[in-house]
Amino acid sequence: MKKRYLLPLALLAFSSCSKDFLNQEDPNAVTITNYYKTETDVLLAVNGLYQGLRSGSTLGESSTLYNEERSDNSGRNDNQSSAGEPFQFNDFSILPSNTYLKTHWTAMYDAIARCNTLLAHVDNVKFNDENLKERYKAEAKFVRALLYFHMVRKFGDIPLSTVEVTSKEQANELAFRQKEEVVYAQIVKDLTEALSSNLPDTQHDYEIGRTSKAAINAILGQVYLTMGSTMPNNKQANFQKAEQFLNASYGLRKFGKLNEIPYADVFDVSKKKTNKELVFQVEYLAGDQNYSSSIARNYQARGENINSLFKSTGSGEVVKLDLIKDYEENDVRKDFSVKFAKDVQVNDWFVTKFRDVSTAAGTTGWGGNDWILIRYADVMLLLAEAKMNLGKNSEAIELVNEVRARAGLSTYEVAQKDPSYKSKYPTLKDAILHERRVELAFENQRWFDLVRNYNAQELVAYFKKKSQGDYGNAKISNITTKDRYYPIPFDEYKLNPEKMYQNSGY
């Protein structure tokens, strides 16, 4: 039986087992070598790549722990018992031994390995239409690039593999941290090659929940924007590429102005198949115990019923008062996104952005919310950031104003005349970051926005300006420059401290 080895070194601990045990064959199992025979086999494998994104341990809805709860938007106040390890993310006290971090690392590399395996075998399958094969390959490269993009921003230098790993020896050769710029080069290569396929322009032209040229352009633009902001070389060229690809994505939209799409409609479960703002999303199925979304019920606080028919007994997803204070007066996004729970056991703000009170979700709270990974307001504000970095401030402001108009707010130019706004957001960079924060709150963008715009020293200074009283039980004083990156999970580091060197400060 041909075995697949995953890249995480923790999964290579098989070396402690006997060779005979490893080589036993399961007569009822389908081996990878024998699986890829028909076009249908490949399609099912492609579906499996998207399925790999559904997990909260990868990029699914509950992956907020690895981004949103790391930031100044949300987090939990319980630092005891089972909540102790999740609390470490927002408290800037995360340890290399954190089991949630290890699970995230392993799940992400497992999802990457799925992509590598498909790409290793797809060319051996005969297709009636070679364009369909190229489309499937493009989808695999997009998913792989997306996963690596999340990993490199969180961990910095990481192991990189684009081949199917079939032996422990091969895995050992590949299991070493490669420099960020090498990883980014591979991400760009994957996305650029994916763009050369015959994928449709949008998911509405293809299938909801699958990638498109609009999605690939959006991620490629964000990749170049991140490189321009965080990598030392070719900054101007990277910002120009960011503008090019983000503009290409924006140009594929099927609407005119953003205010044609009400903010609440973006998250309406009854409109998730038709909403023109959505570029790429992870699908969930209402009423199905295994494939439903739980975000509406999990985010709802005790005594509330705005999110779900499920009767909550907890505090929901707790919102930082720091974010609440960042909403401007009359911003329609605030009333839709957050609510104050008055139950004496909660007495705090919780998230209402994700709702499903449908009969299909029922009192179990098995909701149908899709998890949005890319939407056009995000693309527009990224494009504004790229233009700002190129000195095209008037064009950037025009995009910001379009987002603000839908939120019921004045233009940036008018807002700048308000002394309070001007003091809080003195530069266009500050204003764009603010707009992204309130527009995309709880959508797993905030931490990446912060580390893209602030280096390690600036990040520390940014957090330490905040009021502890607006931040909850997690301690702002804990943050140091080490927190720009997560630690490498201890089980990965200990197997080869030289090749899997630890990030500074851990």
Handedness of CA 485, 490, 491, 497 (dihedral sign): positive
CA distance 451 to 71: 10
Domain that holds residue 32: 1-189+454-506
Q: Indicate the number of domains in the chain.
A: 2
Residue 420: inside a domain, yes or no? no
Residues 36 and 144 occupy one common structural domain:
yes
- The residue from 317, 343, 360 where one domain ends is 360
User: For each successive 10 residues of the chain (506 residues), what is the average pLDDT?
Assistant: 43 34 44 83 96 96 96 86 81 96 98 97 96 97 98 98 92 93 98 97 95 98 98 97 98 97 98 97 96 97 97 96 98 98 95 98 98 98 98 98 98 98 98 98 98 98 97 95 98 95 97
Average pLDDT of every residue of the chain: 93
- The residue from 314, 334, 360 where one domain ends is 360
DSSP 142-183: HHHHHHHHHHHHHHSSB----S---SHHHHHHH-SPBPHHHH
Instruction: Write down the pLDDT at residue 83.
Output: 58
Residues 343 and 467 occupy one common structural domain:
no
Instruction: Write down the pLDDT at residue 84.
Output: 84
Instruction: Write down the pLDDT at residue 81.
Output: 53
Amino acid (1-letter code) at residue 291? Y
Residues 32 and 147 occupy one common structural domain:
yes
What token pair was written down for 450?
């912060």
Residue 379: inside a domain, yes or no? no
Give the pLDDT confidence of 415-431 residue by residue, as tens digits: 999 999 999 999 999 99
Residues 18 and 132 occupy one common structural domain:
yes
Handedness of CA 374, 376, 380, 386 (dihedral sign): positive
What token pair was written down for 19?
């060779």
Amino acid (1-letter code) at residue 162? T
**DSSP H/E element including 124:** none
Residues in the chain: 506
Give the pLDDT confidence of 17-54 residue by residue, as tens digits: 333 333 444 544 456 767 899 999 999 999 999 999 99
Is residue 257 packed enough to be buried (19+ CB in 10 Å), middle (13-18) or exposed (0-12)?
exposed
Taking a C-beta distance cutoff of 8 angstroms, is the pair 484, 456 a contact?
Answer: yes
Residues 23 and 161 occupy one common structural domain:
yes
Residue 476: inside a domain, yes or no? yes
Instruction: Write down the pLDDT at residue 274.
Output: 97
Residue 433 DSSP symbol = H
Amino acid (1-letter code) at residue 262? P
Residue 423: inside a domain, yes or no? no
Give bridge partners of residue 351 from the DSSP assignment: 338
350 φ, ψ to 5°?
Answer: -135, 170
**Residue 211, SS3?**
coil
Residue 500: inside a domain, yes or no? yes
Residues 5 and 143 occupy one common structural domain:
yes
Residues 308 and 160 occupy one common structural domain:
no
Instruction: Write down the pLDDT at residue 191.
Output: 98
**DSSP H/E element including 282:** strand 278-282
Residues 184 and 38 occupy one common structural domain:
yes
Residues 39 and 143 occupy one common structural domain:
yes
Q: Nearest-CA neighbor of 135 among 144, 122, 146?
A: 122
Q: Tokens 């609407």 identify what position?
A: 255
Residue 330: inside a domain, yes or no? yes
Residue 213: inside a domain, yes or no? no
Residue 355: inside a domain, yes or no? yes
CATH of the domain at 476: 1.25.40.390
**Residue 240, SS3?**
helix
- The residue from 327, 360, 393 where one domain ends is 360
Taking a C-beta distance cutoff of 8 angstroms, is the pair 293, 308 a contact?
Answer: no
Amino acid (1-letter code) at residue 275? N
